[in-house]
Amino acid sequence: MAKAFDQHVKLSDAAVAEDVELHDVDTSHIPPKYHGTEGDKVHMRTLGRDQETRRMFTFISMLGFGSTLIVTWETLLTNSLAIITNGGTAGLFWGFLIVFGGFILVYASIAELSSMAATSAGQYHWVSEFAPPSVEKYLSYITGWLCIAGWQGGITGIGMLVATIIQGLITLNDVNYVAQGWHGTLLTIGIVAFCVLFNTYGARQLPVVEGSLAILHFGGMFVIIIILWTLAPRNNAHDAFLQIHNGGGWSSDGVSLLVGLYPLTVSLNGFDSQVHMSEETVDATRAMPRAIMWSTLVNGVLGFIMAITMMFTLGDLDEIVQTSTGYPSSRSSTTPRTATLVLPS
């Protein structure tokens, strides 16, 4: 099907290119510097769409967008309690390899689709193209609403995660603070509201913001691992690679390991979100698939490095989960090499 669709696009490109003056994409309402390339215009015409948004993003800014949206190594840290409880360090290592290998195949398929149809509609457009005619409208409609539900749930979940991290930091620095559920709810509302307002009124600044966050994302990891490798306790290789921790009380270590795969998938799930920025990206049919694959590979490698670091520096698993902050941390007055760490977002 992909081959047939690709052939259709090539034929349509040729037909449009022959008569580009008569059938040009309407970009009169967009400043010229945001029109994109001639290839973008031909591609939009092939898809039967007008250019409604400004093309402000490039391959580099989209690489930063994907990296700072998914934040693989940061997510491993913030979800470490669930990983430690279900699978332990062995589950972290082997589970990450399994999840990363699976996601590489998924994103390779999505990258190929985005090279053929670089549209912000993304998945529901592709379903409409590839599904049998008798069910294409139904399946496309369902896919679109599933995407919207995922976005709504995702932004709320991320807001709640940041809110609980803030509460954990307050608890760490103020022993008299008692975290309440409504505190987290109000913080979540404030965080989500800020995101909505910024993306509504400050959207033109997103390329700069994404670039700045990408620097913090890539550079911040080295700050964390240097501290951990310098100050944290060391785990032995046998326990790190082979000892499964069944802290959830599951019927077997195998079940515990499988349950621990879920928080690992969260750290790599979502690089397809870049697809929905296709109509805001210059030379989208080339930049988008490259951005998807490079952000997956780069962040997967960074996540693997962080996973190795966590395996050897977490210390006693039963001790670090006994914390009032809600995130694994440890204090020790007798062991000078033990670091105190509150995990960042």
Return d(Cα 126, Cα 316) in angstroms, integer. Answer: 48
The reported pLDDT for the residue numbered 26 is 63
**Is the pTM higher than 0.75?**
yes
Pairing mode of beta strands 245-246, 86-87: antiparallel
Number of CB atoms found within 10 A of residue 106's CB: 14
Name the percent of the chain lying above pLDDT 70: 86
The reported pLDDT for the residue numbered 27 is 66
Q: Is the pLDDT of residue 232 over 80?
A: yes
The reported pLDDT for the residue numbered 190 is 94
Return d(Cα 220, Cα 227) in angstroms, integer. Answer: 11
Residue 321 phi/psi, 5-degree rounding, is -80, -15
Return d(Cα 6, Cα 183) in angstroms, integer. Answer: 52
Return d(Cα 320, Cα 161) in angstroms, integer. Answer: 19
Return d(Cα 43, Cα 323) in angstroms, integer. Answer: 54
The mean per-residue pLDDT over the stretch 292-316 comes to 90
The reported pLDDT for the residue numbered 110 is 93
| Least confidently predicted of 8-12, 91-95, 107-111, 272-276 | 8-12
Mean pLDDT of the chain: 82
Query: pLDDT tens digit string along 31-65?
Result: 777 777 888 888 888 887 778 788 888 888 888 88
The mean per-residue pLDDT over the stretch 302-306 comes to 93
Query: pLDDT tens digit string along 159-213?
Result: 898 998 899 889 888 888 888 889 999 999 999 999 889 888 887 887 788 778 8
Q: Is the pLDDT of residue 226 over 50?
A: yes
Unique residue bearing structure tokens 């690709």: 6
Return d(Cα 99, Cα 75) in angstroms, integer. Answer: 14
The CA-atom distances, in angstroms, between 188 and each of 195, 197, 295 are 11, 14, 27
Rounded to a whole number of angstroms, the distance between the first and last alpha carbons of the chain is 41
Encoded tokens for 132: 């049998």
Query: pLDDT tens digit string along 59-108?
Result: 888 888 888 888 899 889 888 888 888 888 999 999 999 999 999 999 99
The reported pLDDT for the residue numbered 182 is 92
DSSP-H helix ranges across 22-173: 38-47, 59-70, 72-78, 80-85, 88-116, 123-130, 136-173
b (16+ CB within 10 A) / e for 75-87: bbbbbbbbbbbbb
Name the percent of the chain lying above pLDDT 90: 27
